[in-house]
Structure 1
Amino acid sequence: MINVSIAGGTGYTAGELLRILLRHPEANIESVISTTSAGMQVAEIHRDLLGETDMVFSHTFINPDLIFLCLGHELSRNFLEMNNVPKRCKIIDLGNDFRNKPLFKDREFVFGLCELNREKLRKAGNVANPGCFATSIMLALLPLASKQLLTDEIHVHAITGSTGAGKRPGETTHFSYRDSNISVYKPFTHQHLEEIRNTLINAGSQGLPQINFVPMRGDFARGIFASVYTKFNSTTTESEVIRLYKEFYKTSPFVFVSDVPVSLKEVVNTNKGLLHIEFHNGYIHITSIIDNLVKGASGQAVQNMNLMFGLEETMGLKLKGSAF
């Protein structure tokens, strides 16, 4: 059994991790850390776990083999500075601290996009989990990047559920604002752009063109729907491109290329990434959908854990979706 600790245990990503790990056959949750809720029952905060666990939040970890850091962005470094995490203990960070700056003291973090870095992750001691928007956009573009077929400006419009903003309420997250409403935020400046660029370049896209990314807030709780398009200046035929995508993801147990258009409910509550590809007037258009809390965060983190500990990649992640 893998002894697991979760730091930052009251947030949405931690709640999703608990939901998955409580049913994982090789994981034992030894501690759920919260400085603000220590002593409270976990199910008092994560109400969906009532009757599932009698664990209580703790101040610190005990003797874990792995720590998941579910802290706010830029707080993971502080946690590692303040806590003496044994070198033998592996780390998966779900924040953004190590995605673009992978070195921290004597630890090096591997970027945890399983579909690109699977073999590196099998040997990794520390992993930087990708961002949710970044995951959906990278999955849409990786096959093209690998063949240097990204030659013109890339345009992305992507909409996310309210859980993507975290649990702490704010002006743009409370119900009266989000309900029956859509809004743009951080156009062309979103923090995930750097990891997207770095990953596509590492995948083989030399001379990567500009990525124009317009994120949007949706009036739903969970999921990301990304619409990605670029001019397709290649002699490669449409059928060859679709074969390229299916070949690229044939060993990926959670990413599937659909021959028909996809909709968001098809991935909610699952670790799937679904893609659909079309061609229009010289453009290639890719639809990419994931659940922001599962494939975009906690599910991908468990997928990384499975790889790091030599387990079956899908273990604990065969989750049931609901399309209606």
Structure 2
Amino acid sequence: MTAPPDAAWLPAAARALGGAPVVLDRTPLSGGYVAASVERLDLDVAGRTVPVVLKTASPVEVAAMRAVNVVGADAAVLAAGDGWLLVPFVDGAPPADGEPAPDGVWASLARIHAHWWRKRPRGVPVVDAAYWRSLCDRTLVAVRGAAARTGDPAFGEVADALASWRDDPRMAAALAVLPRTLVHGDAHRGNVLGATLIDWGNARVAPAAVDVLTLSGVPGAVAPAAYTAGFDAPPEFADVERAWADVHVHVHYLGFAADHLGAARVTEMAGIAARGLDALGPALTPHRTRSAPDRP
């Protein structure tokens, strides 16, 4: 996708910003994998300079950002249209290595999870058993490609494991009982700028632990107080959700790891997923005779 023409977004920007904007400067922005075009724009609005970001966006990201706007969270969108988003420019940098995500990010995420708990925003895909199988299939392409490219047998071993996990009944059983909410879906440190979680192109309706685990970067993570103060999910499914998330999140990133991080990291991540799957069976036992919760 190319950048949207000015005529597509300027009228919406005028309504959002309270005056007709004039573009003073454009700066292409790099980084990330979701958008084909991202620009910082410095706009003059009634004599004040307003920095914004204009980006191409998938229908899913547009739908997700509109859902985020309903909550009034820090990642709010100024204007949105067919294939584009206009959002405030965030002058910040991701947390340094070893530094936790800021409390403001956790608090914003909690508001989003709480608002959309057991609800599905229109236009955002649901993580269900079919989605899990398609995720495994996509990941298998990358892992098998790494095996063919490098000849390292470790990639083949991980591919065999993935093929068996694709139809593992424990993953389907977990998704049959776990409540869902709107999740960012890719809440790693590179998508944190200052106190804002950016780039919602991988948003999904899924168990909240997807974001908790990814943002914390720790397998089996428990959310910090800054999150639980705004959203403290019922504890009934906590063990199931943590184990499920250890599997799902590490499989989600295995394709990237196979392309960029090498066999040792892929093997490590697959090991974490395997241990999560082992923990999932016992965690599910108390719920096997119960009916599924309200969807999503």
Structure 1 and Structure 2 fold alike (TM over 0.5): no
Larger Rg: 2
Q: Which has the higher strand share?
A: 1
Q: TM-score w.r.t. structure 1 length?
A: 0.25
